[in-house]
Structure 1
Amino acid sequence: MTDDPQAPQVLIVGAGPTGLVLALALRRNGVRVRLIEKDLAARIGQRGAGIMPRSLEIFHLLGVGDQIESQGIYSPRVRLYDMPEGTHAIQTFDMQPWNEPTPACPYLNIQHLGQDRLETIIRSTLAQLHCHVEQSAELIDFEQYPDRVSARIKTKTPDGQLHEETSNFDYLIGADGARGVVRKLLGLSFLGETRVVEHLVVGDVTVEGLTEEYWHMWGDASTTLVSLRPTETPTTFNFMIGGLDVDHDSLAHSNEAVIRFIYAHTGKMREHGMNVKEVTWLSHYRPNIRMVDTFGKGRVFVAGDSAHVHSPTGGQGMNTGVQDAFNLGWKLALVANGHAKPSLLDSFTEERLPVIADMLDQTTVILKKAFNGRIRSEEEKHWVEVVEVEQEDAEGEVKVAGPSTKEPRPIAAKEDSDTEDLEDEDDWEDDEERAGRQWKEDEKRPGSLLQLGVNYRWSSVTVDEQEQQLSKPISKRLIDLPPTPTRHDSYGRGFDGCLKAGDRAPDAPALRGIRHTRGEAQKSINTRLFQVFDPTKHTVLLFTRPGETIASYAPVVEALKAYPAELVRIAALYRSGVPSPIPTLEGIEYFLEDMSGFARDAYDVRGGCNVIVVRPDGVVGAVVNGVTGLKRYFDGIFSRK
């Protein structure tokens, strides 16, 4: 461990959304962080602009949600135009149906905010917490020891001078992307597939004379598709160009070629006043669908794109990295601050790996459905590679072990019954049908691809004293992923609505009562559970039963005194219309009347369990009957000194 009380405890390599969220979670928990980024300046462009509802909940917990909501926009309706004229809308539809918020889920619609603006918001908040991104700082190498990680870091001063240093940290986290150095130095596998048919050229472009009320599309993926989506910045549109007839390589290296292509494939829109002025960001995207077999070794961990990359369909990527960071953050904070044993960090891989495997399954199915119309031959159905990224050359190109990316080959038939044979035409069609069923199911019960159903019911650090937990195996894997301990319904598609340990903790508004805080008088408050939850604390919810006095919870309150008081808060909730328990029991911070019954409905668990623990990441850690289950949970989290 670091001896200097002012020295950073954790080194985070990479200042994208994953690294920034992890840094913010750690700083909220009082952990000293050093955050480095090898690029000279912050990134520009929309990139992963779709913010899922679960990510928005996380951002609110971390204190940046209001800023993100105020700057973001909701997805506009899509207009698909006739071709070759290109000026008449033949179809108008919603990319995702609008969902009315509910008491348990206040955010049910995808927001769009450019990654550059998202990063600016988080960077600004981090600066208030005395954490700044060091640009032009690059990790060269590291060595692990029993009590520390020694990292070699190269920095570049504003005048161009290079400086190399060696510094010690308690832990090192790689959030430096799919081509980052941390995963490679750690020696983690990165298996999966690279798809060489479904290319896309994406970026941002300034367009005048085009209404920003709609998301505009011309053509289709079987030949040529041009998409222009309005952004939060006036006249700036996010573009996507795809199709089997597109020379993606040429477009990806020429802003002028992109502008000419947009004009050429949007019919007569230019004659109707559309003026494409400037390409401000450009990228060539080829789907890579890969993941590691573990999220860390020793004192070094990876998260986000450093640990998994995915197809662009489904909008899961950036959001999944944010959830990686939030899952790791509170655990790493407890360990770094001496409140938990390092073994708690094992649950990071245990909880997140099945989620990532499930996410890759889903997005691969949707990718194949979206691009199936452009597949022209049996041979092209198998233009995928199962390879492992080894290193980058001097120009930043990824070298692979396996077949050349210029000469793709089919995947060989697998004997593993858990892996679908991509050479089987029937399986190909089954995947399309499954994708269609998935979309229909999500429309009826939004929670899967919106990530509200993501759960860790199998986790060894959760405790549930209800009857045996329900789970449903997910579909067979579509790609050759590393084995995971168990396959789980980690997106919650098959659940029956009963809340269990490992699930996302629901919100509940219309709570009225009082709050006790140390050194202050009681305060009358109107609040909601999302305002009671805290990314630095476990929240213990006591759902009192009719006829009970608050004194009956004295054993629970007494048992919780064995754990750090600053890391656990207690909230007692009672039904509206029921006489209030006399709020005199020391140690309970909130006494709240459930005015509309929303909390009772959302936390309607089985087996008589009325004590529920919500973790700092907004996940239910325990559903128990009383002291025995409570101690079993917290003894698995905190070190007993």
Structure 2
Amino acid sequence: MDSKSHPRVLIAGAGPCGLVLALTLRQNGIPVRIIDKSTIPAIGQRGFGIQPRTQELFQMLGIIDQINAQSRIVPPFRSYAPEGRVPLKTWESTPTLDPVPAFPYRNLITLGQNHLEGILRADLAEKYSCAVDVGKTLVSFTQDVTGVDVTIQDEIHGTQKNERYDFLVGTDGARGVVRKQLGLSFVGESRPSVQLIIADVRGSGIDEDHWHMWGSLQSDGLFVRPTGVPGLFGLAMTLSGEKVDCEVVKANPALLQDFIQRVVARTEFRVTEVEWITNWTPNIRMVDKLSLGRCFVAGDAAHVHSPTGGQGLNTAVQEAFNLGWKMALVVQGNAPLSLLDSYNEERIPIVEEMLLKTTNLLDQTMVAKPGERKHWDRGGALLMLGINYRWSAVVLDEQDAEEENNSEKDPYGVRTTGLRAGDRAPDATGLKENRSAVFTQLSSIFGVAHHTVLLFSASTERCTAVLEALVHYPANLIHLVVVQATPAPLVADGEKRVLEDTQGHTYAAYDPILKAGCDIVIVRGSEGVGRYFGRILL
């Protein structure tokens, strides 16, 4: 953070959710402090699936290249007969899809959570002078109408300090302080009948080109996943009627080997080291609301669920991004405090739907038999590209003024059709800069720290009218981009950016809106321009 600026936001918890929130705020110029009780980064792959929608956010945050350099596409699944050596079936959990102009990211990729956290920490420290303050625990807090007073314990020196912030965000996990002291409900269920051993192990004797499955998770079952790090595997196992002391097993890998041999007759798969191991029992819970006053929760502090479907980490990252850009506007004095109400309004339905989907997948997975691929398909809505906020109070859709934002909620976009306000903004390639003749794509002009106003018009008069509507708002927060169809004559640049849609991808992607008579699309989150920004900006 800027050493001359006192942090305005305290983030308690330095997992992916807290780190993405910190990165979003810093890219908006907001000084933050992020603390974590642990003195060392977390180990273990843990949440390792990164969905296409989250990949798009990581591109916007400027870290997708580092992630792509370390991640991998999910390899095929392979199930085995009881003796362990003969494959029953090999299949893809979701077909590998080629990128298209509107969807540059279409496949689930895997990257251990520890590696993702490393990328985020490095980016925060190197580019934004914001290092995680380790060995610090949030003890307690109180709030009033202007800020939050906190007490922080220094675990290394055994001292406490009182500080004040504009906002507090708890990304401190299911057992964290923020949700508990706010008194938020955590309603749901536990399933003690389901007991899994989850571990990262060093091993050999098995190929690293498949995810391997033996037995059934209803009784004795084993799931082995290559991580992309040579010789390192993720392991999930059920043992009927067996209690496992993970600390003992970590110190003695031979014990884990014995457990594996109970499930798999394939003796050439040998475990040589246990890097990380834990017992896991399903807890399916969520808060009734994500905030109270100036205090917020996100990620595991707000919801816990089955990892089936790879939704948890992604939901947390998307929450952090949603809250981050809004909180930045409020801290800057560019938006009213009430804008933060939309965090609850937009994200609670997403979390509710996510819990339904992951619980359903858990139920299917637990009854799946060897070779039953139907229980392991992970495409479609789980890629999260249909997630939307059509119902949000800060969303303005002039395509249907009579039914504005009154459509039935469909958080994952399973039933919705067409393109409406609140949806993911389609990407497009083949855009040529009027000034430089350099080619770009839409996602490259979208940003964390500004709104992008896309104007589909070649009319100088229309451009002037939109500029006049925008003059009332901070220029650095709103970028006007004129997108013109080829071969329409290009208007003069003036105070706007002009892009030529040389391949027609942009006009094709936004065709439903254009046919409805709208020629303006505001991305992030005339008269319509003023009405929209009047909802979020001061």
Give the TM-score range, shorter chain: over 0.9
The CA deviation at 1:607 is 2.2
How far apart are 1:523 and its partner, in Å? 2.8
Residue 55 of structure 2 is aligned to residue 56 of structure 1: yes
1:560 corresponds to which of 464, 470, 476: 470
State how far apart, in whole Å, the 1-side matches of 2:30 and 2:196 are. Answer: 40
Choose which of 307, 311, 322 in structure 1 pairs with 2:306: 311
SS at match of 1:44: coil
Amino acid at match of 1:358: E
- After TM superposition, give the deviation of residue 16 of structure 1 in Å: 0.2
Change (3 A) 1:133 1:630: same
Give the 3 Å change call, closer, same or farther, for CA 185–53 of structure 1 in structure 2.
Answer: same
Asked if the contact 1:201–1:252 (Cα under 8 Å) also holds between the matched residues in 2, the reply is no
Report the equivalent of 1:24: 23
Is residue 489 of structure 2 the alignment partner of residue 489 of structure 1?
Answer: no
Alignment partners' CA distance in 1, 2:246 and 2:129: 42
After TM superposition, give the deviation of residue 258 of structure 1 in Å. Answer: 2.1
Matched residues in 1 for 2:529 and 2:142: separation?
39
Partner of 1:359: 354
Query: Equivalences for 1:564-575 in 2 at 5 Å?
Result: 564-575=474-485
Tell whether 2:235 aligns with 1:328.
no
Structure 1 residue 223 displacement after superposition: 2.2
Cα displacement string for residues 438-486 of structure 1 (whole angstroms, at most 9, x for unaligned residues): 988x75xx3x11111111000000100012469875xxxxxxxxxxxxx
1:164-183 equivalences under 5 Å are 164-183=160-179
Higher relative contact order (CA 8 A, sep 6+): 2
Quote the offset at 1:74 in angstroms. Answer: 1.0
Q: Structure 1 residues 470 and 12 mapped into 2: Cα distance closer, same or farther (>3 Å)? A: closer
Give the Cα–Cα distance (whole angstroms) in 1 for the partners of residues 502 and 7 of structure 2.
Answer: 45
Give 1:539's aligned residue: 452
1:461 and 2:394 are equivalent in the alignment: yes
SS of residue in 2 equivalent to 1:12? strand
Q: Which residue of 1 aligns with 2:9?
A: 10
SS at match of 1:254: helix
SS class of match (2:43): coil
1:614 is aligned to 523
User: Secondary structure in 1 aligned to 2:383?
Assistant: coil
Matching residue within 523, 529, 541 for 2:436: 523
Q: Aligned with 1:523: secondary structure?
A: coil
Question: Aligned to 1:294, what secondary structure does the other structure show?
Answer: coil
CA–CA distance in 2 between the matches of 1:56 and 1:25? Answer: 15
Alpha-carbon separation, structure 2, partners of 1:140 and 1:93: 49
Unaligned ranges ≥5, structure 1: 375-434, 474-487, 515-521, 620-626
| Residues 385-396 of structure 1 aligned to structure 2 (within 5 Å) | none
Matched, 1:587 2:495: yes
CA contact (8 A) 2:77 2:90 kept: yes
Pairwise CA distance, 1:211: 1.3
* 1:290 to partner: Cα distance: 0.8
* TM-score normalised per structure 2: 0.94
- One-letter amino acid matched to 1:452: L
User: Structure 2 unaligned runs (5+)?
Assistant: none
Tell me if 1:510 matches 2:409: no
Contact 1:26/1:32, CA 8 A, preserved across alignment: yes
CA contact (8 A) 2:10 2:165 kept: yes
Q: Is the 8 A contact 1:471 1:495 kept in 2?
A: no
Aligned to 1:450: 383
Partners of 1:458 and 1:253 in 2: CA distance: 51
Which residue pairs with 2:459 in the alignment? 549
Give 1:230's aligned amino acid.
P
Please give the secondary structure, in 2, of the residue aligned with 1:185: helix
CA shift, 1:221, in A, is 2.0
Maintained 8 Å contact 1:290/1:308: yes
Aligned counterparts of 2:475 and 2:389: Cα–Cα separation in 1: 26
CA deviation after TM superposition for structure 1 residue 214, in Å:
1.3
C-alpha change, 1:110 and 1:246, in structure 2 (3 Å) is: farther
State how far apart, in whole Å, the 1-side matches of 2:274 and 2:300 are. 26
SS of 1:127's equivalent in the other structure is helix
Alignment-derived partner of residue 500 in structure 1: 420
- The AA in structure 2 aligned to 1:194 is S
Contact 1:136 1:156 in 2 (8 A): yes
Give the distance between the partners of 2:194 and 2:96, measured in 1 at CA: 28
- After superposition, the C-alpha distances for 1:161-199 in whole angstroms (9 at most, x for unaligned) are 212100110100000001101000111111011122232
User: Root-mean-square deviation (CA), in Å?
Assistant: 1.9
- Answer yes or no: is the 8 Å Cα contact 1:200–1:248 preserved in 2: no
Quote the Cα distance in structure 2 between the aligned partners of 1:156 and 1:217: 42
Task: Note closer, same or farther for the CA distance 1:141–1:210 as it changes in structure 2 (3 Å cut).
Answer: same
- C-alpha distance in 1, partners of 2:363/2:34? 37
In the alignment, which residue of structure 2 is the partner of 1:122?
Answer: 120
**Paired residues of 2:392 and 2:405 also in contact (CA < 8 A):** no
Conserved? CA contact 2:246–2:277, under 8 Å: no
**Deviation string, structure 1 residues 491-528 (Cα, Å, up to 9, x no partner):** 000012x11111111110111123xxxxxxx4332000
Per-residue deviation, 1:264: 3.0
2 CA distance for matches of 1:347 and 1:489?
A: 17
Distance 1:37 1:166 in 2: 16
Q: 1:91 to 1:348 in 2, by over 3 A?
A: same
CA contact (8 A) 2:396 2:405 kept: no
1:110–1:562 distance in 2 versus 1, CA, 3 Å: same
- Confirm or deny: 8 A CA contact 1:470 1:495 kept in the other structure: no
2:246–2:278 CA contact under 8 A, matched in 1 = no
Distance 1:77 1:206 in 2: 21
Distance in 2, matches of 1:50 and 1:294, equals 26
